[in-house]
Structure 1
Amino acid sequence: MAVPKRKVSKARRDKRRSSVWKLDAPTLVKCPQCHELTAPHKVCGTCGYYKGVQVIKKEA
């Protein structure tokens, strides 16, 4: 059975644990058409444009 040779220090243990629990804020970019915040590489939910082309028809 595998047994650790040395005790893991509190600093090393906490450094390992700290990176797992951090949350990242979602990346948001402005739509070039309507200037609303949207997720990158996705169709804008407000105006329906993607890369300057209307993909989804939205009623005004």
Structure 2
Amino acid sequence: MGIDDKIKNEAEDVKGKGKEAAGKMTDDERLEAEGKVDQAKAGVKKAVEDVKDGLD
């Protein structure tokens, strides 16, 4: 996994956490759900990259 991929995945996770927190504070369920989806995507990408790294 390249450093740029790690940074992008971490940024997506942080963005998701921010959306989730903002959604909770404003009672915006849609924004909260978007944040959770962003975090899940980042987690999946990280897991895939970890598997790729393990195969190298």
Note whether the superposition's TM-score is higher than 0.5: no
Larger helix proportion of the pair: 2
TM-score (norm 1): 0.28
TM-score, structure 2 normalization: 0.29
**Structure showing the higher strand proportion among its residues:** 1
